[in-house]
Structure 1
Amino acid sequence: MAASVQSVAKVLLRLTPSILQPLRIYQRLRPRASFSPVFPPSHTFCQAAALQEEGAAQAAQAAEALSRYREKPWAYLESEEFMEKYGSDPVWTGYRRNHKGGIPPQKTRKTCIRGDKICGNPCPICRDPNIIVHHQNVKLLEQFISPYTGMLFDPTKTGVCMKQQKKLTEAIDASRNHGFLSFQIPHVDFTKENYSNSHDAVGLTPPPPSLTSGESWYKWYDQITPDESEVAKVTTKYKAYLK
């Protein structure tokens, strides 16, 4: 009996490497599941689905807010989101463009968004999609107008790109034409001399000078000596019409 057990054990020992080698190769080639040892696999799948649903809900809310602000761009400046992000400061406060060296360039970039490509550190208007330049968005336009001169700030001060600067210029002009933005007309104090009717520009037209027969209206016209060849050409050409 003992001899038979020993023979079986020897056979199993011989077969063990041939059986274990394919199993080791399979363990190396099979993909390892990234399951947490603390939570079961079902909990991991539920958590990923919950995160995906939460991201979809946030994207839907952002799209809804963006569509709402496109119809009423002035509503964003009155929202709590804007106050938490910017406070009472203008949208361009503290903005600094990325550039080489310590001296900033003399002109801002032409545009921040070209098709699907967005440059690094876009301007204060391009970086926030909820900020829309519109002639009725008075609170936004007032942030780019100097309270002392009533003129639009230079883009080197605000940091906006040239495309948005052009939109701001057109929106401010349209807003002033529609009466949304007030502007002051400089007062000019006229003197009494400006209202006088004795000036030649507002006075009576002098009577024409009296002319005798054969005298030209302009004195300098008699001093001009015509070219005889040119006079002969004109006389020949219009001979039938001359009396």
Structure 2
Amino acid sequence: MAACGRVVPQVLRRLSSSVWPVCGQVQVCLQRAPVRLHPAPAQFQSSVRFLCSPASLQDEAAAPVDEAEAPVTESRYKDAPWTYLESAEYVERYASDPVWTGYRRNHKGGIPPQKTRRTCIRGTKVCGNPCPVCRDPNLFIHPQNVKLLEQFISPHTGTLYDPTRTGVCMKQQKNLDKAINTARDQGLLPFRIPYVDFSGEDYSNSHDAVGRTAPPPSLQSGENWYHWYGEITPDEGELAKVKKMYKAYLK
């Protein structure tokens, strides 16, 4: 045991004296060797620049904006929708025609459907061919927007046009009906009541409809109640058919 204890330290000393000079030479060689940095691939350069250095304001302005993530701007006519019908933008688009002039819904075949769609906008999804009201974001149905409401009212009858004629969806048709009734209650739209002249009517008790029934004329035996009844001569052929038909009931 004592011999082993003496041999182990000697072996360690010899190893250390032979290994450490080699490690020092390797370290010196690594320090003197030139360092070569390979450039990053093209697909990773933009990400490396973004992670390492902050982007400038010019780069942010030049970066394309995704249309799906772009915020939807509200119409400037939302608070006063009646001003849109007096603007040059409206005149350039519709001129003097109603907003539903020339509208045709996309459908299969030559015969249009008997009913319009329920709604054109469901959440954030818009149908391919929206109705005349839903396709223009500047049109708002409001009781004070009288010029727009008058375009959907018949000038002859004063009733609301059928949606199959104007192409308006059922949701906007209900909004139109509600807005027209509200505008009429507020006095913004006139009522069309037909004029009836009652000056020639007789409301006295002597009128035949409310007066007493005239007494029957005095009849003698053999006379008819109506004097013209005896002047009628029935057709012999028709009379024979009736007699034959009711032969069992005639006495």
**TM (normalized to structure 1)?**
0.56
Aligned counterparts, 1:81-230, within 5 A: 81-191=89-199, 193-196=201-204
Tell me what 2:61 maps to. Answer: 49
CA distance in 1: counterparts of 2:63 and 2:164, whole angstroms: 42
CA distance in 2: counterparts of 1:175 and 1:162, whole angstroms: 20
What are the Cα deviations for residues 143-193 of structure 1, in whole angstroms up to 9, with x where unaligned?
111222222111111100011111111111111121111232111122554
CA distance in 1: counterparts of 2:210 and 2:80, whole angstroms: 53
Measured after TM superposition, the shift of residue 30 of structure 1 is 3.4
CA distance in 2: counterparts of 1:177 and 1:197, whole angstroms: 39
**1:71 match: secondary structure:** coil
% identical equivalent positions = 64
CA distance in 2: counterparts of 1:79 and 1:160, whole angstroms: 23
CA distance in 2: counterparts of 1:102 and 1:114, whole angstroms: 27
Kept in 1, the 8 Å contact 2:157–2:192? The answer is no
Bigger helix share = 1
Quick one: structure 1 residues 79 and 50, their matched pair in 2 at CA, closer, same or farther if it must change by over 3 Å?
Answer: farther
Unpaired runs of 5+ residues, structure 2, are 1-37, 47-56, 212-251
Aligned with 1:78 (options 86, 89, 105): 86
The two structures, once aligned, show a CA RMSD in angstroms of: 3.4
Unpaired runs of 5+ residues, structure 1, are 1-22, 35-44, 204-243
The structure number with the bigger radius of gyration is 2
CA distance in 1: counterparts of 2:63 and 2:191, whole angstroms: 52
CA distance in 2: counterparts of 1:47 and 1:84, whole angstroms: 38
